[in-house]
Amino acid sequence: MAVIRGKERPSVFFWVMAGIGAVVALVFASIQGGGLSAPTLSDLLIFGAVIAAAIGYAEGGLLSRELGSWQTVSWALVIASPLMVVLTIVAIAQQPVSATPAQWAAFGYLGVVSMFLGFVAWYRGLAIGPIARVSQVQLVQPVITIVWAALLLGEVLTWSTILGGLAVVLCAAIAVRVRLKRPPVASPPPVASVTKPLPT
């Protein structure tokens, strides 16, 4: 999406490292999930969500260069709010809200820190760009999630998990360091000078 919308031109080496990183991340996730299986409807829905997120990230990164990151996130929330209000009412009607204070605190943290402030920082990074290079940071997200699960929930880290995570991080780090060609910036047309005749 960064190539299509942002007119960025990643090098062949970038594509190779990004491809290796994506494959390593896929293998890493499949090992954690117990192996590969036949694609299901849920898998297709997740793939569709990934495509939608890629479009949103690319568009959001470009828009953040004009509006600013927090403005872009705020406007996205304003535009989505009518639909989200309807979905929230439907969800509450189907299952009334019931949560402890700790759960409400966790919900508030996710909404304010992870979703809002996190996206402000993310779109700021995409705006600085190039978007294609910054996007490779997403490969590290599953690894960070597993590390936090080990620290907070006491999940066991195996050697295969550690080595797979390091491989994903290494591929992402190399892809991020690759220089990309930015799209050429059109120079403004020359201003025609008007010479006034001298008074006689």
Share of the chain above pLDDT 90, in %: 12
The answer to whether 33 touches 95, Cβ cutoff 8 Å, is no
Query: Taking 70 as the threshold, does the pLDDT of residue 146 lie above it?
Result: yes
Give the model confidence (pLDDT) of 5-58 as tens digits. Answer: 777 777 788 788 778 877 877 777 776 666 666 778 888 898 899 888 888 888
Residue 73: Cβ-neighbour burial (10 angstroms; 0-12, 13-18, 19+): buried
Angle of helix 159-177 relative to helix 141-153, nearest 10 degrees?
Answer: 140
How far apart are the C-alpha atoms of 50 and 53, rounded to whole Å?
5
Record the pTM: 0.64
Query: Peptide bond preceding 130: is omega within 30 degrees of 0, i.e. cis?
Result: yes
Query: Taking 50 as the threshold, does the pLDDT of residue 197 lie above it?
Result: yes
Give the model confidence (pLDDT) of 176-195 as tens digits. Answer: 676 555 555 444 455 454 45
pLDDT for the residue numbered 108: 92
pLDDT for the residue numbered 188: 46
Domain boundaries in the chain? 2-177
Average pLDDT for 124-136: 79
The answer to whether 175 touches 133, Cβ cutoff 8 Å, is yes
Give the model confidence (pLDDT) of 65-76 as tens digits. Answer: 888 888 888 998
Residue 139: Cβ-neighbour burial (10 angstroms; 0-12, 13-18, 19+): buried
pLDDT for the residue numbered 87: 93
pLDDT for the residue numbered 104: 92
